[in-house]
C-alpha cells in the first residue's frame, strides 16, 4: 500500500517533518499541496516537485482522487477547518500545533474526529528528543517515584523581521497561550498519565510594536496529583546562540530530574544518589516517522488521537482562562 499524502498549508517550517519522511519512504508519496499564498509556498517549491497545487483543500482532494493522510501546517486559525475537511474526506490528519486556536474550533474538531474514526496526531516533537526519551525511561522505571511537580520554560526568539503579518495578528495566530505551552502540557500529561485536573493562565504584552500580540504567558496546571508551572514567551534574547533555552525540572517523591533541551542534557538525583548526567540514546527518529510507521502497520500512532486532543483541550482551556483574568478551568479526559 502506498500512503497517499496531501499537505494543507505551508505556513510553518514544521511542514518539513512530513516532507523529510516522504523523501525517506518507499511506501508513501506526496500527491498534492493546498496553499493559496505563493509566498508561503515558495520555500518548498523545489521539494514538492510537480504535484498539483491548489488554493483550496477540498478542491485538491477532489482533483487528486482523495488522500490517506492530510498534513496540516497552514495559518493557525485556518487549521481546524482544514482538519475537519480532511477527516470528512476520510483522511487521517497529521498536524503541526496548534490544530485549533480556541475552544469553539476545538469542539468542532473533536466532533469530526469522533465521527470519522480517523487518526488525528499532533507532532509533539519534544517526545522524540534524546533527553525526553531518557527521562521517560527513568520515570517508567520508578526511580523518581510518584511525580508531583513540574517547572518548564519555553522562551522563543520572535525574529520579528521574519514573521509574516498573519503571525502577528490574533486573527491569524490566535494567542500565545493557545500555541507555545502545548508541548509542555503534553509532557506533563504523558509522563503522569493524568486524566483530570485544573488549569489556569495569565498572559500579557510588553512589546507595543504589534498591538494585540501577546508575548508572554504562564500556565498553572494540576494534572492528577501533580502540579506544573509552565512559562513561555516570545522574548528569548535575539543575540543568544540558541533559539530558546527550553528546560524542565521534574520532582518526584524519590528524586528529581533536570532536562535541558537546548543543550541536550539530562541530570538526575535521588535521596540515595547525588546528581549524575544521564547517558542519552542515539539520534532521535525522524519527527513524522512514528505516524507513517503506524499507518503502514495498521496500528495506533504513538501520539494518538486521544493524547493529541487532550493536550489541545487543556491548552485551550488555559488560553480561555487567560482571557478571563486567570479563572480556573477544570478538565477531564473522556
pLDDT at 264: 97
Alpha helix locations (H) across 174-299? 176-179, 182-192, 289-297
pLDDT at 334: 86
pLDDT at 294: 98
> Residues in the chain, how many?
334
From first CA to last CA, the distance across the chain in angstroms is: 33
Cβ pair 156, 232 in contact under 8 A: yes
Structural domains for the chain? 3-118 (3.40.50.720), 127-284+315-332 (3.30.360.10)
Query: Using one digit for the tens of pLDDT, what is the confidence trace for 256-284?
Result: 999 999 999 999 999 999 999 999 998 88
pLDDT at 202: 99
Question: In 3-state terms, what secondary structure has residue 40?
Answer: helix
Alpha helix locations (H) across the chain? 15-24, 38-41, 45-48, 57-64, 79-88, 103-116, 130-141, 170-173, 176-179, 182-192, 289-297, 305-322
pLDDT at 283: 82
| Euclidean distance between CA atoms 43 and 249, whole angstroms | 37
pTM of the complete model: 0.97
Query: What value does the CA radius of gyration of the chain take, rounded to a whole number of Å?
Result: 20
| Euclidean distance between CA atoms 175 and 146, whole angstroms | 33
Please, which contacts does 50-59 make with residues 24 or more away whose CB atoms are closer than 8 Å?
57/6, 57/8, 57/82, 57/85, 57/86, 58/85, 58/89, 59/34
The percent of residues above 70 in pLDDT, for the chain, comes to: 100
Q: How far is CA 303 from the centre of its chain?
A: 10
pLDDT at 1: 83
Residues of the chain with confidence (pLDDT) below 70: none
85 exposure class (CB count in 10 Å sphere: 0-12, 13-18, 19+): buried
Cβ pair 172, 77 in contact under 8 A: yes
Grid-cell match 482533483, residue found: 63
pLDDT at 284: 83
User: What is the secondary structure of 141-153 as a DSSP string?
Assistant: HTTT-SEEEEEEE
Amino acid at each position: 500500500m502506498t500512503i497517499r499524502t496531501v499537505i494543507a498549508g505551508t505556513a510553518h517550517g514544521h511542514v518539513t517533518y512530513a516532507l523529510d519522511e516522504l523523501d525517506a519512504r518507499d511506501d508513501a508519496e506526496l500527491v498534492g499541496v493546498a496553499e493559496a499564498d505563493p509566498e508561503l509556498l515558495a520555500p518548498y517549491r523545489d521539494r514538492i516537485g510537480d504535484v498539483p497545487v491548489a488554493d483550496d483543500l477540498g478542491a485538491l482532494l477532489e482533483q487528486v482522487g482523495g488522500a490517506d493522510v492530510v498534513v496540516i501546517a497552514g495559518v493557525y486559525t485556518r487549521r481546524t477547518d482544514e482538519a475537519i475537511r480532511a477527516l470528512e474526506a476520510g483522511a487521517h490528519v497529521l498536524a503541526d500545533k496548534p490544530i485549533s486556536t480556541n475552544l469553539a474550533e476545538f469542539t468542532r474538531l473533536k466532533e469530526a474526529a469522533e465521527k470519522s474514526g480517523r487518526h488525528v496526531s499532533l507532532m509533539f516533537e519534544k517526545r522524540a528528543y534524546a533527553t525526553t526519551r531518557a527521562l521517560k525511561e527513568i520515570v517508567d522505571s520508578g526511580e523518581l517515584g510518584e511525580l508531583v511537580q513540574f517547572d518548564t520554560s519555553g522562551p522563543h526568539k520572535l525574529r520579528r523581521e521574519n514573521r509574516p503579518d498573519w503571525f502577528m495578528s490574533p486573527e491569524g495566530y490566535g494567542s500565545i497561550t493557545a500555541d507555545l505551552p502545548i508541548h509542555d502540557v503534553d509532557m506533563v500529561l504523558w509522563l503522569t498519565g493524568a486524566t483530570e485536573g485544573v488549569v489556569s493562565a495569565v498572559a500579557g504584552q510588553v512589546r507595543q510594536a504589534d498591538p494585540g500580540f501577546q508575548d508572554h504567558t504562564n500556565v498553572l496546571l494540576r494534572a492528577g496529583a501533580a502540579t506544573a508551572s509552565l512559562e513561555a514567551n516570545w522574548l528569548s534574547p535575539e543575540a543568544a546562540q540558541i533559539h530558546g533555552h527550553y528546560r524542565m525540572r521534574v520532582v518526584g517523591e524519590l528524586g528529581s530530574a533536570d532536562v535541558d533541551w537546548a543543550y541536550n542534557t539530562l541530570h538526575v538525583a535521588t535521596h540515595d544518589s547525588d546528581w549524575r548526567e544521564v547517558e542519552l540514546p542515539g539520534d532521535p527518529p525522524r519527527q513524522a516517522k512514528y505516524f507513517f510507521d503506524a499507518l503502514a502497520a495498521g496500528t495506533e500512532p504513538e501520539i494518538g488521537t486521544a493524547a493529541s486532543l487532550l493536550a489541545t483541550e487543556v491548552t485551550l482551556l488555559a488560553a480561555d482562562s487567560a482571557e478571563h483574568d486567570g479563572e480556573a478551568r477544570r478538565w477531564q479526559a473522556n
